[in-house]
Structure 1
Amino acid sequence: MTSATEPARAGHPAPAVPRLIATDLDGTLLRDDKSVSERTVAALAAAEEAGIEVFFVTGRPVRWLDVVSDHVQGHGLAICGNGAAVVDLHDGVAEHRFVKVRPLERAAALAVVELLRAAVPGTSFAVEQTGGLHHESAYPPMLMNAAGSIAPAEELLADDADTVAEPILKLLAHHPELPPDDFLALARNAVGARAEITRSSPTALLEISGPGVSKASTLELCCAERGILPSEVVAFGDMPNDVEMLTWAGTSYAMGNAHPDVVAAASGHTVANNDDGVAVVIERILASL
């Protein structure tokens, strides 16, 4: 494994001037207290001044992006919901504009609920839509998760649901007892190719998107629209929902606090989020110009 000051991957060295930086938020760009350090803010601004585009790529819904909206400069676009949506943050979170939506179809979401109820008893569900979150009564209330409605998942996903006009960004599944990685393995085995399942929480909370929808695939679409090649992208992450993105990018870094699967997938590593690992690498790139 390489250090933050060594070439990232044999055959894939960090580009002299990357065209895009793609960074996860929680556990990566953000410190554990959910702040963005002054050093990191300065590094992002310096990257953009050097002509390097910055994308926030997160599992968070758009309403949770206020942690970075104050620091939007050129980087007004964010990929959220693990690739389910691209939003423009230039006018703030309250005035965000969906640029792209890649929904989970209702029929597919219902099928996943049925399969997981049978395969992993005790699972509870929430539905993240463009207009907000809705969940079952057994689903644990999360910080910043104000439910739009509470009902069984089958009712929330019915064709006559009150929110049927709002695209589904992702389905969330929680288990009160299973270890997170065990829950992930069981769910992937039960659901197969019907949906993409990943996780970013330290708890047994799974995030379920439409087939082929991930941070990596949406980032690839955004880069293709800009004529940016994978070899021109530097990516950062710390949890399993970052693995595909780190594998796709020409140069990628696992944080010092990263999940083992992320360490294995990334081409290099940097220090932990609380030590400004993203800024450390950006500063090194800019110093080499």
Structure 2
Amino acid sequence: MEYKLIALDLDGTTARRNRISNQNITAIKWAMARGIKVIIATGRSIGAVRKVAKKLGIIEKKMPVIAFNGGLIYDFTKEKILKQTVFSNAELINIFNMANKYKAQLWAYSVDNEHLSYVNTKHSLMVKWMSFHTKQKIKLIHNPSTLQDRAYKFVVSGKKENVLNFKTKILVKYEFNIFNWSYLPNQSLNLEISQKGSDKKDALEYLTKIYNIQPSEVIAMGDGSNDYEMLKWAGVGIAMGNVKNRLKNISDDTNTYYRRSGVAKIINKYFKK
């Protein structure tokens, strides 16, 4: 089989924050130099993916990126949104109200301002962690009904009982995608919520149709629950060595830990035979 596209999750797969091994950088650039398309598929915002995309040569090769777990497909070369799937204003307000009711900590990425996120508290570990690592400006919302924006994605954190109650009520009312979110191990439970039809797999389907590439010609690598559908859909779905069995069970191959340049090893294995 001739593989034509590599889809890469970032955190825990290709990079740790913005640190990427030289082996991974070299292998990814080697693949693109030979006409293989490399698509970043991440839960990050566009602002948080730009530096990595530049370091990997993604922007130079005019490759679009998938952000917000499929909620946004962006072309850095033209600074243009190719496709977006967002939460409506009414959904944004309702989710804030429900988070407040069930005492869950909430973070929402603004659609109108890519540098802004809305929160319902400034004092939680999650908000402090997100503020530091995303460099987003945050706006504390006291009255959700005043919100006039939309949202790309929500991050939810808090006591396990509170977050599970919030999740249950959300799924009764909406058909959103809800993923486990693992960056805060000291918290009881962390989730991220994406709009229905907003999945890495959906975004990849959109791009492969443009490129006339079949799913069987795609290799995808990931390590989280937000990679599950993407790995199932791809011709070769590859789970990183640090993932749980649920992801390994639906994968076609397993990789080494991301800290050991796993992306480079897979490129060597499938493309440098």
2:140 — aligned with what?
A: 151
**TM-score in terms of structure 1 length:** 0.80
Residue in structure 1 matched with residue 65 of structure 2 by the alignment? 78
Q: Which of the numbers 5, 23, 29 marks the counterpart of 2:14?
A: 29
Would you say the 8 A contact 1:58–1:215 is kept in 2? Answer: yes
Report the CA distance shift for 1:243/1:128 in structure 2 as closer, same or farther (over 3 A).
same
Residue type at the aligned position of 1:283: N
The 8 Å contact of residues 118 and 141 in structure 2, kept in 1 or not, is answered as: no
CA distance in 1, matches of 2:77, 2:107: 29
Indicate conservation of the 8 Å contact 1:126/1:171, yes or no: yes
2:169 is aligned with 1:190:
yes
The one-letter code matched in structure 1 to 2:219 is V
Give 5+ residue unaligned stretches, structure 2.
Answer: none
Deviations 1:56-106 (A, max 9, x none): 000000111113322224253110011111112347xxxx43222111112
Query: Is residue 96–residue 120 contact of structure 2 (8 Å, CA) maintained in 1?
Result: no
Instruction: Describe the SS at the equivalent of 1:60.
Output: coil
Whole-angstrom CA distance in 2 between matches of 1:81 and 1:100: 12
Kept in 1, the 8 Å contact 2:28–2:56? The answer is no
Identity over aligned residues, as a percent? 23
Supply the AA of the counterpart residue of 2:140: A
Q: In the alignment, which residue of structure 1 is the partner of 2:28?
A: 44
Matches within 5 A, 1:29-178: 29-30=14-15, 32=16, 34-65=18-49, 66-72=51-57, 73-74=60-61, 76-90=63-77, 96-118=79-101, 121-130=102-111, 131=113, 132=115, 133-138=117-122, 139=124, 140-142=127-129, 143-152=132-141, 154-155=143-144, 158=146, 161=148, 164=149, 167-175=150-158, 177-178=159-160
Cα distance between partner residues in 2 of 1:38 and 1:178:
39
* CA distance in 1 between partners of 2:227 and 2:47 (Å): 20
Counterpart secondary structure, 2:134: coil
- The match for 1:211 among 196, 206, 210 is 196
Cα-to-partner distance string for 1:205-258 (whole Å, 9 max, x where unaligned): 322121121111111111112221111110000011111111111111100112
Distance 2:43 2:146 in 1: 25
Other-structure match for 2:224: 239
**2:218 touches 2:234 (CA, 8 Å); kept in 1?**
yes
Cα root mean square deviation, aligned: 2.4
Partner AA of 1:170 in structure 2: K
Name the SS of the counterpart of 1:127 in structure 2: strand
> 1:28 is paired with a residue of what secondary structure?
coil
Displacement of 1:191 in angstroms is 1.9
SS of the residue 1:103 aligns to: coil
- Residue ranges of structure 1 left out of the alignment (5+ in a row): 1-15
State the partner residue of 1:13. Answer: none
Total equivalences in the alignment = 256
- Aligned in 2, Cα 1:276/1:149: closer, same or farther, shift over 3 Å? closer
Q: Distance in 1 between matches of 2:146 and 2:44?
A: 24
- The structure-2 alpha-carbon separation of the partners of 1:50 and 1:238, relative to structure 1 and needing over 3 Å to count, comes to same
Q: Secondary structure at the match of 1:282?
A: helix
Asked whether the 8 Å contact 2:239–2:255 carries over to 1, the reply is yes
Deviations for 1:94-146, whole angstroms, at most 9, x for unmatched residues?
xx43222111112223333444444xx32011110242322222452222334
Q: TM-score, normalised by structure 2?
A: 0.84
Partner of residue 254, structure 2: 269
Q: Which amino acid aligns with 1:111?
A: N
The one of 222, 228, 232 equivalent to 2:207 is 222
